[in-house]
A = this chain, B = another copy of it.
Amino acid sequence: MSNETRGLTLVFTGNGKGKTTAALGMALRAWGQGMKVLVLQFIKGGWKYGELKASEKLGSNFEIRQMGEGFIRDAGPEGLNAHREAAQKALEEARRAVREGEHDMVILDEINYAISYGLVNKADVLELIRNKPPRMHLVLTGRNAAGEVIELADLVTEMREIKHPFAAGIPAQKGIEF
């Protein structure tokens, strides 16, 4: 971890496309600077091949760990426990990363959504943010970011959907959605 950096807490929220995508771009920029990046997925499952393949190619300084179980809306009532378990596991990984302090940037992908859906406790996440090493960048994505999370953050952008191809019946496209 570099000495001169002041670690920031960033939040990408809102209903528009670009939250996870912006976090990935941030990760690429940091990786380009020689920083060590960890991406923890709290919700999304095994379908985002583009970034998974990219992270394999980028080597050990760019790691994506998937624990989420796909989109929550696909889950039946009994599926919710599996989602909660996966999100809790992601939270544990996040705590370990914050405790060990070996990464320059840790991205908690869809954690806001996981909070708002009750998969992780808001209080646990707030504690995680407060405990982060001073030089670590922490990026939290997902819609419905909690007011207290926004309060603690240094930078918050709301991605607002103005237009989306799904609304026009265009299916998910390689390189864009996955």
Interface residues of A (CB under 8 A from B): 2, 4-8, 10-14, 16-18, 20-35, 48-55, 57-58, 104-105, 137, 150, 153-165, 168, 170, 173-176, 178
Q: Would you call B162 and A150 a contact (CB within 8 A)?
A: yes
A170 to B7, CA, bound (A): 10
Query: Closest residue to A52 on the B side, CB-wise?
Result: B32
- With known contacts A33-B50, A174-B33, A156–B162 Cβ distance under 8 A: yes
Task: Report whether over half of chain A's contact residues are helix, strand or loop; otherwise say mixed.
Answer: mixed
Q: Would you call B28 and A28 a contact (CB within 8 A)?
A: yes
Q: Would you call B33 and A28 a contact (CB within 8 A)?
A: no
Give chain B residues whose Cβ lies under 8 Å from the Cβ of A2: 174
Q: 4 smallest A-B Cβ distances: which pairs? A: A32-B54, A24-B25, A29-B50, A25-B25
- With known contacts A29-B48, A33-B49, A50-B28, A17–B157 Cβ distance under 8 A: yes
CB distance from A95 to the nearest CB of B (A): 21
Query: Closest residue to A177 on the B side, CB-wise?
Result: B29
A32 to B57, CA, bound (A): 8
Give chain B residues whose Cβ lies under 8 Å from the Cβ of A31: 50, 54
Q: Would you call A23 and B25 a contact (CB within 8 A)?
A: yes
Give chain B residues whose Cβ lies under 8 Å from the Cβ of A34: 53
Q: Would you call A25 and B20 a contact (CB within 8 A)?
A: yes
- With known contacts A29-B50, A175-B137, A18–B22 Cβ distance under 8 A: yes
Q: Would you call B175 and A26 a contact (CB within 8 A)?
A: yes
8 pairs across A/B with beta carbons < 8 Å?
A4-B174, A18-B159, A29-B50, A31-B54, A35-B175, A57-B58, A154-B163, A158-B160
